[in-house]
Structure 1
Amino acid sequence: MIRFAVIGTNWITENFIKAARKVEGFELTAVYSRTKERGQLFADQYNAPFVYTSLEEVATSSEVDAVYIASPNSHHANQAILMMNNGKHVLCEKPLASNTAEVERMITCAKENDVLLMEALKTTFVPNFNEIKKHIKKIGTVRRYVSSYCQYSSRYDRYKAGEQLNTFDPQFSNGALMDLGVYCVYPLVALFGEPKQVLGQSYMLESGVDGEGSLLLKYDQMEAVIMYSKISNSYLPSEIQGEEGSILIDHMNPPKGLKIQYRNGTSEQISLPQDEHSMLYEIEEFISLVKNNEKESNINTYENSLITARILEEARMKMNIVYPADRANKD
């Protein structure tokens, strides 16, 4: 059994635990929370025997083999590095860190401590993403990747009413690009690598984070168009356009319905059934890597995480979205 601690007692951690309990080898051992009361409540709900209110306690605990980090983006790097310096394997929520410098530090730390670090971006692990890779040759030379993730935030009305919320606070290195746009960027990188050019524009909220935006990324033979939003919904599918046809993708997080529409007028359904707990597949990968003493995923590789971080950072700089974490790294 791989004994996990979780950092973060939010809805995404709840989804993680529900999915992980379907994976052989997973054991929830500990919960970290800043308050004992909140941590104990969460631990009781999910039958975790240990509750810690100190990150150092988690890092040094002999009861923990691996840590799942689902804290605000700005905390990812320091928390992961603390855990890895104490020999813990780390599965860290997307985006892996605030900027490229932090991602580089995390990867260096993982290698120095001979532990596993993996970005928890689930899209690239689900069966239907493998189907995209398997069938993409059928559409001929790819000319355009169009991906959209626009989801009206459940907290946006509270923000408009004047409430101060972490999800719209640049102190935590978030906003539409980091929270939702990354779901479009990472699969692009996994399929096509690093672009030659990154352009972007966004609508900024008064708090200092982007409410929505779009990216245009240039490759040698194709371009990518990415749209994302936390202040509006979109009901359009994503699409990979080739000279012989297009792959239509119902949703990027995660893809469930896939269809190839060929230029000659025919079509082909290529979807596979997937578990409703779509985080299951990334957890299976992580646990398998730990059990086999492997220190890097060949799917969510260090290189993919670095390229994604560079794209996000370059886009932010062009849109003048600067976080305190960016200034701290320069200092």
Structure 2
Amino acid sequence: MTLPGITGFQAFTVQLVLKQALPGIQAVRTDHGVTVKKVGKQHRWYLAGASCDGEGRWKEKLLLSARGFSVFFQMLVKAQKPLVGHNMMMDLLHLHEKFFRPLPESYHQFKRNIHRLFPVLIDTKNVTKDIWKELNFPRVSNLSEVYEVLNSDLNPTKNSGPVIIHASECEKYAETKYPHEAAYDAFLSGSVLLKVAHLLLWRVHSAGPAPEPSFALCLEALAPYLNQVNLIRAGVPKINFSGPDYPSVRPPVLLLSVSRWPGVSEEQVYREFQNLCKFDVRRLTRNQFLLLTNKFKDARSVLKEHRGHPTLRVALYRHWRHSPDVSCLLQVCGVMTTWALLAFLLGRPSSP
């Protein structure tokens, strides 16, 4: 009897199960599946001795396959080589949670763990964000657009930069885009890293002859950006995994107070402002919303445009003044203080 369509590790698993459950049969892997037949005792002894070595090798392969990406993770940790990514904060969180340990409660412990696992981190998002405006490159919103700009005539080092040759299995990436495919995104991140490093070297040596590029020189040019990972909509613009974080340079949070617009939603508020600038909108109370942006000019623009607006009043958000939790706490404290004062006054003995 042949069990069709069973190959690879699945076939080996079927063999192991049948061998333990039915000692009187032999299961053989073929190109078409697993063939099962009944055999005598002496023949089974012969087969057991002959297949011992092969079975051991298959067991090792099966265990290796079951470990999955954790094998690659251990290789990365053991190599202690620079780890390159683009906007890689979520990747680091995922690696820590799934392949190392559960995420710690302590932020600083998380930083120490990641730095111990990967001593050198390079976030191409952080690097390109810092130098993009200096070089007057057009605005980009994703990794593919960054790669296209660096690969265009806008890049003064386009013709002198490193030549990247695809492996035979990855030649399709030279002609076609495959966004969010792991290997393609890895190719984009690595390419952006090399092109940006070459651009930094060119800028440093623009007055004289540039040295022969090497990876050591690239790392030297990238030194100011090492171990700094970009953050979006956070209290600090980036995490420094090898030292203290940089002070916050985020624009202030704005408070929008809405009147004469019953039932207004966060989406409606977002659409109201989208032609002027982009904000993250978060409801604070029934008629109040927080507006968050990463650009100071957007915050200034909204404050200016809505000064004296009849229904949409925008102001700087002050936690101690506008937070509902703080307001509730102050009200409770006020009530308790009032009752305590009344109890003190009413409980005083009258003078004779």
TM-score of the pair, normalised by structure 2: 0.23
Q: Which has the higher helix share?
A: 2
Larger Rg belongs to? 2
Q: Which has the higher strand share?
A: 1
Point out which structure has higher relative CO (alpha carbons under 8 A, 6+ apart). Answer: 1
TM-score of the pair, normalised by structure 1: 0.24
